[in-house]
Structures are given as structure tokens and as C-alpha cells.
Structure 1
Amino acid sequence: MVDNIWVGGSRKKITIAVIGLGYVGLPIALEFARKVSVIGFDTNEKRIALMQRSIDPSNEVADVEFKECDITFTSSWEKLKEANFFIVAVPTPVDPHNVPDLEPIRKASETIGKVLKKNDYVVYESTVYPGCTEEDCIPIIEKVSGLKFREDFKVGYSPERINPGDKEHTLTSVVKVVSGCDADSLEQIAALYELIVKPGVHKASSIKVAEACKVIENSQRDLNIAFMNELSIIFDRMGINTYEVLEAAGTKWNFLKFQPGLVGGHCIGVDPYYLTYKAAELGFNSRVILSGRYINDNMGNYLSKKILQHVIAHTENVKKSKVLVMGATFKENVSDVRNSKVADVIATLKSYYLNIFVHDPYANAEDLKHEYGIELLSQLDNDYDAVIIAVPHQPYSHFDDRYFATITKEHALIADLKGTYRNRITSRKYWSF
């Protein structure tokens, strides 16, 4: 354990409070808890109770990772008074109209304002648009705490780079971008993160630069996937398999290996809207970024029409047809269902009066029911008119042509969105993005 660290101009014992203990906050809290004292705070008492028993509600962190950690889990903001370094890792979603929802980060700022003391530090990790930390969050802290920014407390921004389900590119193995409100705070914040990040840190010149860094990382991926999705629509009309084209093009050394697919989750499908929202506020209407978003957000409708066309062509009564959707989380091998575009596909297919059945070995049935009203199957039937492999979870990887033949009718369509079973399905009609 590190007993003390240089904070506020002198060496003192440090206690970190991590606000928000989801996919981002919990790993951060546990890593720091191996070095210093940590208070893990979340308003969800049910989640806190699980973490107090060394259980990650998100199923990303193994129980062994809780061992030898100096951490207290709490839902009481009074406990936060013991901290002198605050890390904010709450979600920053968009509303149904794709407008940034800053309510969680504003509430976190209010909570910090209630407990902040002179010489304390606050670092935001939640995804925001450039300028949000200084223009939206800091004024709230000042108002609630009565303290003066820079004079009484310091603030920084360090964008999270957590990738759910990825055991290679973890918090401690990826360079961490850090920033501060002045030269001194930058050095202090960098020193703190260097305690846990093995490759070290990249010191951004300002908080705005660090904020912008985060939103463009995911916007870049979003645009590349949008290009692949548009290609898949074009190639489908040409009767060409997109994955075969990408395989061939990928033999060139500088070809970027992106793939088509549904783009959901709480990063790639959300972050671009934070950037375009701020751009519009400044009088610039994004064309390229929003075009990519338009394509990716409409891939669910494109898929649904493909399924509907097949069912209409091969069944006498659409209302009696059965479609199986395999995988409902936002990506493979994770349990997170937030902003899952599979849910959009299911809703659209149901609007066409198709009977939809959903299976997922990782999704939490309670979360899926609460978020989307979707119920999970415990047992599959043998008469589906179509099967959509929406998320290729590892337990699905051994399935073959014979397996799909046992659960479908002879005329069934196997829609394999990620091309997992390419060249392996022969007894049923096969289609992929």
C-alpha cells in the first residue's frame, strides 16, 4: 500500500472515492484499492450489497479481484467526507432524441460539492463533450461546496478506456490520458494514475483536449463501421458476400480491418452524439459523423426487413411465424444490455406481427425484462422460420449446420450477422451482413 502521496502541495495520506461503480468505476476502484484506501460509492443499494460480498453485478470482475483491496463500498454520501481525491465514473447516456443526458454527472457533481474540502481533487472519467467539465460540472461543485475552483480545489479529466469483455486491453495495460486544470494538478493526477497503469500516462495539454480525445476515439470506430455497413448493403444487392470481400481486401498491409454489424453499447453508439451536440451549439452541423450514425442506427431496420421478406415469401400466415434471436447483449461475451441494438430489431420485428423468441447465455433476464420488456427462453423449439445470430457468444461457436437444421423448418433463413458460420450452413438458406 502507498501510505501517502503529494496532494495540495504536501505529502498526505490519500483516500480516493470512486463515484459510480459500473463497468468503468468498479475496475478503477479495485485497482487503486491495491495501492491506497478507496471508498466505492454508488446510489444503487442492491449493487452495493453484492459488491460488499465480492460480487460484480456486471459479471466482468472475478471475485478473486476483490481480495487484498483496501476498499469500502457504500451508498451513503456522508462516507465520502473521508476522501480527498474523487473520481467520477457515472454513465453519460443520450436521451431518446440522442441529446446528451448530463443528469447523472450533474448529480455526481452535486454529491461531491456536499463533501469537498480545501485542497481536494476531482477527476472526471465519464464521457462528455469538450468543455463539459469546466462549463457544466465545476460550477455545480463551486455552488454546492462554496469553494473556489483552482484556489480551493483542483479538477482534471482522464477518459476511461474500459472495453467490456476484453481481457487483453485492460485498465492497467493501456496508456492512460490525463489532464489537469493547471500544471501542478496535471503532475499530481498523472502521479496518481501511474500507481496503477503499467505503460504510463499521456499528459494532455488541457482538460478540453482530453475530453475531445475520448469522443473522437469512439466516433472514429463508429464511422469505420458505418462504412462497412454501407458496403454490406451494396454488396448484398450485388450478390457478393461482404466478409469474403473484406478477407480479400485485408491482405493489403494498410487495409483497416473493420466489420459490419449492429452498433450499440454505451460508447460507440453514444459518444458521437456528444461531439455533434456541442458542434451544433457552436453553429456547426456535422455531416460526416451524423451520416455514420444514421447508417448504423438504421441497420436494425434493414435486418428486420430482410427477415420479414423471407417470412412472407415462405409462410402462409405471418402471425404464426416464429423467429429465434440468439444473443441480446450489446456485444459478445458480456452481460451488458444497455443500448443494445438487438432490442431495436426485436421491437421492429414484433411490430410486423412476427412471433419473436430470444435466447442469450449471458444476459441477465431481470435486466432484459426491465429495460426492454423482453423475456428469455429457457428451452428452444424445433420449428423456427428464421434464426438471427445477433451476438456470437462463445457458447454458440460450436453450432453447425446439423444443429440449425434441428431447430428450424426446411425453408428457414439463418441470418448470421457477424459471419461466424460462413461456409458452414448448407441445409438452410444463409445470409449475413
Structure 2
Amino acid sequence: MIDELVTKQKRIAVVGLGYVGLPLALALARQFRVIGFDIDADRVAQMQQGLDPSQQMTTADFAGADIHFTADPVGLRQAHFFIVTVPTPVDANNQPDLEPLRRASETVGQALKPGDYVVYESTVYPGCTEEDCLPVLEQRSGLRLGTDFRLGYSPERINPGDRVRTLTTIVKVVSGSDDEAVQTIAGVYGRIIEAGIHVAPSIRVAEAAKVIENVQRDLNISLMNELAIIFDRMQIDTQDVLKAAATKWNFLPFTPGLVGGHCIGIDPHYLLYKARQLGYDPEVINSGRRINEAMPAFIAAKLNQMLVRNGKVPAQSRVLVMGLSFKENVADIRNSKVVDLVRELMGLAISVHVVDPYASPREVAQAYGLALFDQPAGPYDAVIVAVGHDPFRQYEVAYLRGLMNGTPILLDVKGLYAISPDDGFDYWRL
């Protein structure tokens, strides 16, 4: 298989062209013939023009790539090596929503042929690839694993917005249903990954390794958030404490914040779900999740206190929230905890305006029913800087003061600004 892929006699198909799938497809298309498939025809049309709807890849990244973009599943029949990179969200009850993964497995199953390979990159709980995806592949294709096709799992490690730790510079974990599968899968990824390949002993180990990467980050940030709550009651600046503690060589440099996005805020629920199926309710993971989920309410309550302290009536106040995407310098609004913050503020009858230079107003309206303003329309009673976008970092103190009336109230969630007592702000940072 690997020789036929290298000589472009056979094609690779990447199913799902979001933050994970598109960079992978373009990287592969510099070595192989690639079919890029997505069910969103509008997104596919943009990619056919060399544009990334997620605003992560440049036009230059598309240049020279041997790739055909399509929203027609029939085109997948020309491929022999399939990589599934669809999202794995949770439902309203924080239970795994495997529907996108099942639909993708059905689509691939209908295109599957004897001798083909299927590799999953979507983050799941240990066992999902073999217990949930494999039966769909076999049912739809009429083929059998081992006899007719091979299976693998290689967890994605894309970090949206990161221009340093990119796809090819991060070690790739691979696994397969048998030794030949592992060798072939490692051979394909090895053609594009400069940092090297790590072979996991089983698909379940590779799945577990991925999910705990984000569980670990979730727990470390939850500790920082809990410390921030404690230090706030002590009237101690958390950032000052962390700066002092970081002078010790083995202190881990985590910071408090809103934990959203498709990884840290979602993936722990997959492991929680599987653990409960096995009769164990994880206490530490649960606790971390509860703390991080409570941070929007904590910040909203802090603003309420500051408004009252400055003689402003919350129900008559106008507040500007700067940033809505889940992290800095990306357009991704999935599971944005800033949305939860906005709703907490609205629950206090505060009038809220939101600006974000990256997020799509159309997507924000469709996903959350919120309107994005092109520019601030002050004066405001307070400003909350919720996301550390680069354009926000350029703002000077005078500009921020000019957005507000009365005593300027600034909640700097990300700690972007060096505000001194002489600047005349009622200033707070997480």
C-alpha cells in the first residue's frame, strides 16, 4: 500500500476539513494524491478557491498541493487510505455525541474496498474506534477487519493559532489493528512528520493517551482557577503570586482562565463517560470540570460587585466584552466560555456588546443567537477583555479609558495590560 500511495497510484482521503483535517490534508498533498472531503459544501467551495474558512491556513499553503476538494461522497470511492478527522462534541448533558463520527464511518464504509485502510484521528474514549466505529465500517462495507481491510488510530495534536508547534513539528502517535497496519500507517505519517513517530502498542492505548493530554491540562488550569478564587478573597493579585512561584525550577507555568474550545473543555467528558460505564465515578476529573465550568459566573459576579462599588446600577449598565472565540487569534467559537460569561451578564440585566476581530458574525448568530458589533459603540460602564487577541494587546490605556464613562472599570481576564493605580481605573485581573 505505501509504495502505491507514494507513487500516486492510490489516493488518501481526509474526511472532515476543519482545524484538524485541512492542515493534515494539505501536508499530505505535498507527498501524496489527496481527496479532501467535507459535508459542508460552502466550506468546500472556499477551499477550492484556496481559502481556509477557519482562517488558519494561508493561500500559500494551498499552492502546489495535489488535492481535490469535494462534498460528494461518491468521490471517496477513488481513495484507498482514509483518515477521519471529524469533531467529537458532547450533548447538552455532557454525554459524548458520536453522531458525527458515526456518519463519517458510514460514509467511509460505503467507499471501503478490500485492501483499504481506515485511520481515525478524532478524540474519543478508549475503545471507541473498535467498539463503535468498526462495526459501522463492517456493516456498511460488508467487509471484515483483518481479512479485507485494516484499522488504525492516530490522535490529532493540532493547536489552533500556534505558529511554532505546527503539525509536522509534533511527534505523531500511531497505532493499528495488526503489525502490517502499524507499519503502513507509520510510513504514511512518517512522510510528513518531521518530529518523529511513536508507535503505541494498541489502538486503545493511543486513544487513552490523547484523551488524558487534555484531561491533564484541564485539571492544572482548574487548580489555577481555584487559587484565583481564593486569592481574590484575600485581595492578592494571582498573577503576582504565580510570577513569584515560577522562580522555582519545577513550578508548572499554568495560568487561570476560561476553559472552552473543542479539546480541554470537551475531552474530559469522554473519559468520565467511559469510567462511569465501568462503575467508577472519577472524583478529581469531576472536580476540575466543575471549577472550570463555574468561572464565567465567578467573573460575572465580580463585575457586578465592581459596578455597585462604583455607584453604578448593573441593570442600567452597558458593558463591552472584547473577544468571543475560545482562545486568542482563532475564529473557532465552539464551546466558547465567553458565551457563558455573556449570558451570565445578561442574566443580571446588564446590556452587553461583544466585539471580536476573528469570529464570524454569521456563525455566532447561528450558534448562539448573539450579535457581534463591528466596533465598540460606547460609552460603556465597564469593559471585559475576555480573549487575548493580538489586536487587543495593542490598545493603550487612553483608548481603553475613552471607551468608558465615569470611573472606568476594566476586567482584564487574560492579564494583557499593565495598569497602574495612577491610571485611574478600577482594575481587576483573573
2:190 is aligned to 194
Matches within 5 A, 1:115-194: 115-194=111-190
- CA gap of 1:311–1:86, structure 2 versus 1, over 3 A, is same
Q: Does 1:101 align with 2:97?
A: yes
**C-alpha deviation, 1:316, in angstroms:** 5.3
What letter is aligned with 1:417? V
- CA gap of 1:316–1:331, structure 2 versus 1, over 3 A, is closer
In structure 2, distance between residues paired with 1:133 and 1:99: 17
What letter is aligned with 2:61? E
In structure 2, distance between residues paired with 1:67 and 1:423: 45
Answer whether contact 2:397 2:419 (CA < 8 A) is retained.
no
Matches within 5 A, 1:352-371: 352-371=348-367
1:215 is aligned to 211
Answer whether contact 2:11 2:32 (CA < 8 A) is retained.
yes
Answer whether contact 1:401 1:427 (CA < 8 A) is retained.
no
In structure 2, distance between residues paired with 1:202 and 1:424: 49
**C-alpha deviation, 1:40, in angstroms:** 0.4
2:18 is aligned to 22
What letter is aligned with 2:179? A
**C-alpha deviation, 1:317, in angstroms:** 4.0
In structure 2, distance between residues paired with 1:60 and 1:12: 27
Answer whether contact 1:124 1:158 (CA < 8 A) is retained.
yes
> Paired residue for 1:203, among 199, 206, 217?
199
In structure 1, distance between residues paired with 2:7 and 2:129: 27
In structure 2, distance between residues paired with 1:318 and 1:239: 23
In structure 2, distance between residues paired with 1:299 and 1:160: 28
Query: Does the residue aligned with 2:319 lie in a helix, a strand or coil?
Result: strand
In structure 2, distance between residues paired with 1:153 and 1:379: 54
Two-structure CA RMSD over aligned residues (Å): 1.5
What letter is aligned with 1:229? N
In structure 2, distance between residues paired with 1:7 and 1:119: 12
Answer whether contact 2:328 2:387 (CA < 8 A) is retained.
yes
What letter is aligned with 1:199? A
1:5 is aligned to 2
What letter is aligned with 2:45? A
What letter is aligned with 1:168? V
Moved over 4 A (4+): none
Cα deviation digits, residues 219-278 of structure 1 (max 9, x gap): 000000000000000001111100000000001111000000000000000011001100
Number of residue equivalences: 429
In structure 1, distance between residues paired with 2:156 and 2:415: 30
Unpaired runs of at least 5, structure 1: none
What letter is aligned with 2:427? Y
What letter is aligned with 1:189? I
In structure 2, distance between residues paired with 1:227 and 1:59: 32
> Paired residue for 2:335, among 339, 342, 363?
339
Give the TM-score taking structure 1 as reference length: 0.97
Larger CA deviation: 247-256 vs 394-403: 394-403
In structure 2, distance between residues paired with 1:287 and 1:316: 41
1:56 is aligned to 52
Unpaired runs of at least 5, structure 2: none
